[in-house]
Chains A and B, each alone.
Chain A
Amino acid sequence: MISKKLVAASSEPLVLAILSHGESYGYAILQRVRAMSGGRLAWNEGMLYPVLHRLERAGLIEARWEDGGGRKRKYYRLAAAGERALASEQEEWEVVDATLRALWEGAGA
């Protein structure tokens, strides 16, 4: 299992990355994260929705309500600012990833 700290740190880039593939809603995002991580990134439902709302307020994602089957569902999509934020996040995570890989490979050599 991934530690809580890392789960929290990676939550925003993960949400942005999932939404970069198209519009989605909270439950589907959660399922996608679980499936993509093989169940090792066990997101707490209580954590996802505040993250979505925070990103929405920051203007990185946009939301719309859709009525269907007698209930309302909130769909999120990436905003232009979100695309820029995702690119920036991607660069940062790649630096961290490359640094750690170099260190671990060096330590193993």
Chain B
Amino acid sequence: MLDHREELAALRRALRCAGLTPDQVDELADHVEADARRRVDSGCGEAQALREARAALGPVEALRAEFQKANPSMDLVSKLAGLALSALVVALAFGATGDLWALVHAPALLLVGGLVAGGLVASFGPVRVVRALRAGLTGRPTDDAEVHAGVVARGYRLAWASGVLGTILGAIQMLAQLADPAGLGPGLATCTLSLLYGALIAEVGFANLRAWLERAAVPLG
């Protein structure tokens, strides 16, 4: 029996951190253990057998890349499904108590979306922005991880700032209509929904992208 359980446990942790599924982790850990047993049977010491078996498996990054290559769309599909689920929950939660269309307000959407997109393009250029978004969605390790992390961090801040800016502009719009209470609606909608859009873009969009990029860049092994 192999007694060096902590080495195998460390390998399992590294594989889990790499984003491999529990089944993949189990299978690869079993592989290392079987290889180590064979080396022990050939006269190798247990610790050295485990080290050699672990080394034969190769770097965890390479394993993850191979699994992703074998199934490139799954990761992206699960991420998009997660985002869609978030949107659905918001829609259902609001739809149950109010008019769902009240959540859609084109001026606020244009204001927040436009400011975020414009700010990102002004800071990084369109190519880097598109590459960063693609890197986050696909989860593939890239050579430009630092720039991509910068794009996503800036996007997160811009989303919140745009939401707050929309709120201020909506408030100004409302103040201009104080004499006519019937005209307060558009300003109030811009005021509240800008903040909602900014929060959603920041916390559902960019916060997830940041997590996915970090996972893709985790130093492993």
A residues sitting closer than 8 Å to B (CB atoms) are: 25-27, 30, 44-47, 49-51, 53-54, 57, 65, 71-74
Q: Once the chains are docked, how many angstroms separate the CA of A53 from the CA of B69? A: 11
CB distance from A61 to the nearest CB of B (A): 13
Listed A/B pairs (8) with beta-carbon separation below 8 Å: A27-B30, A27-B35, A45-B57, A46-B57, A49-B63, A50-B70, A71-B30, A74-B30
Chain B residue with the shortest CB-CB distance to A48: B31
- Give Cα A105 to B186, complex, Å: 84
Cα separation A45 to B57 with both chains bound (whole Å): 6
Q: Which residues of A contact B26 (CB under 8 A)?
A: 65, 71-72, 74
Instruction: Give the residues in chain B near A44, CB-CB below 8 Å.
Output: 58
CB contacts under 8 Å to A, within B18-70, are 23-24, 26-31, 33-35, 56-58, 62-63, 66-67, 69-70
Closest to A71 in B: B30
Closest B residue to A30 by beta carbon equals B31
B97 at interface by CB-CB < 8 Å: no
Tell me which of A30, A51, A54, A74 contacts B27 (CB under 8 A).
A74
Task: Mark B residues whose CB is within 8 Å of A.
Answer: 23-24, 26-31, 33-35, 56-58, 62-63, 66-67, 69-71
Contact yes or no, B30 A46, CB < 8 A: no
- Chain A residues in 8 Å Cβ range of B28: 45, 49
Whether the Cβ atoms of A49 and B30 lie closer than 8 Å is no
Complex Cα gap A27–B27 (Å): 9
* A49 interface neighbour in B27, B33, B34, B35, Cβ under 8 Å: B27
Cβ 8 A contact of B23, one of A51, A54, A74 = A74
Complex Cα gap A30–B67 (Å):
17
Say which residue of A45, A47, A57, A65 sits within 8 Å of B31 (CB atoms). A45
Contact A53 B67 (CB under 8 A): yes
Establish whether residues B67 and A49, one from each chain, have CB atoms under 8 Å apart when the complex forms. yes
- CA of A51 to CA of B31, assembled, Å: 15
Contact A54 B66 (CB under 8 A): no
How far does the alpha carbon of A41 sit from the alpha carbon of B31 in the complex, in Å?
Answer: 18
Give Cα A90–Cα B40 distance, bound, in whole angstroms: 38
B33 and A50: CB pair below 8 A?
A: no
Within 8 Å CB of A27, what residues of B? Answer: 30-31, 34-35
